[in-house]
Amino acid sequence: MNVPFLDLNAHHAPLRSEFNAAIQEVIDRCAFAGGPVVAEFEEEFAAFCQCKHAIGVGSGTEALWLSLLALGIGPGDEVITVPNSFMATAEAITYCGARPVFVDVDAHTYTMNPEALALAITAKTKAVIPVHLFGQTADMKPIQAVANEFGLKIIEDACQAHGAEYKGQRAGSIGDTGCFSFYPGKNLGAFGEAGAVVTNNSEVYDKIRMLRDHGQECRYYHSQVGWNCRMDGIQAAVLRIKLRNLEAANQCRRSHAEHYSRALCDLKEVIRPTIAPYAEHVFHIYAIRVPERDRVMQHLASRQIGCAVHYPVTIHLQEAYRSLGYTAGAFPIAERCASEFVSLPMYPELTPEQLEWVTDAVREAVSEVI
């Protein structure tokens, strides 16, 4: 049996005629760059996130960058985040002129450790970006307490957490802004690049709307210098269709995760994902931790199972950030996870046979190579 890491065709097949009709409509309306279809999606996505406003942009990276700019972060400022994220989280900080500062994560949820956050604050710290890794939110209450004490802005990196909840609040609705990616492989994925910022702050909303469209309030009247970060109309049309199915798709992911975890629960060599008591997890990624990770992955590959590592090198040890001066050992939990993580196939359309094929192969790997 073949179990790809991701199977977008299986997700798209039943919706094909809906996609074709919606894309045709964008063509007929000539609503390509921003415009009415993007506005329709924004309204629906804001409601989904239990937020007042959503702003469609070109990617999750732009969502993070524009959030920082709109919240006034710039040169001389420090922004605290975690080293076990996708590079974009730190890049956005660098691209607004500020300095990324990393703190280690909780050993069970792999999200920001609020105590480490408190210890990393300096007079220059202006904001914090907790990352809702793999589909589970960070522990936001203690992070908010620290942020309130020191007057820090909170930007949620919710790029992996569409529909996740923290104590009943939707990911993205808790901080000053929430940032989403609609990269094709995310829980809500476009047919290309796209992203969104959600916020309850109308001033921040107005600012980001202007920044994403060359700083113009109305056409060709520019009150500030912005950039082109608009969402495509075709992406918005596709996202509107997929958003209607997101809740059900997330439910399938949760049920697959339960199946995986139940089938692997007796293997003491395998650390399974922890669902925090505060969390509604949406399992963008189902990552286990194993010793001899590379050999386990080789074994899974030999059984035609696609797997991946999120992420093999923590951001503070990336060559691109050598100038920040971090060394190996600075963040023991994040670094250890980077050497032990294996992400198993995870998407709503996985069949019971595929799930079993994967867990059987993990069991074989544990007995043969560990």
Ligand X SMILES: *Cc1c(COP(=O)(O)O)cnc(C)c1O
CA 48 to chain centre: 16
Q: Are 299 and 364 in contact (CB under 8 A)?
A: yes
Helix (H, G, I), strand (E, B) or coil at 292: coil
Distance of alpha carbon 264 from alpha carbon 362, whole angstroms: 8
Helix (H, G, I), strand (E, B) or coil at 344: strand
199 touching ligand X, by CB under 6 A: no
Cβ-based nearer residue to ligand X, 129 or 270: 129
109 touching ligand X, by CB under 6 A: no
Cβ-based nearer residue to ligand X, 195 or 348: 195
86 touching ligand X, by CB under 6 A: yes
> Nearest approach, Cβ of 181 to ligand X (angstroms)?
3
The DSSP result for 97-128, as a single string, is T-EEEE--B-TTT-SB-HHHHHHT--TTEEEE
Q: Which residues in 212-251 contact ligand X (CB under 6 A)?
A: none
- Which residue among 34, 35, 56, 60 contacts ligand X (CB under 6 A)? 60
> Nearest approach, Cβ of 188 to ligand X (angstroms)?
11
The strand pair at 125-128 and 216-218 is best described as: unpaired
Cβ-based nearer residue to ligand X, 263 or 309: 309
163 touching ligand X, by CB under 6 A: no
Cβ-based nearer residue to ligand X, 48 or 110: 110
Backbone angles phi, psi at 304, to 5 degrees: 60, 40
181 touching ligand X, by CB under 6 A: yes
CA 331 to chain centre: 21
Q: Which stretch binds ligand X (CB under 6 A): 19-27, 59-67, 238-246, 360-368?
A: 59-67
Binding site for ligand X (CB under 6 A): 59-61, 85-86, 88-89, 131, 157, 159-160, 181, 183, 195
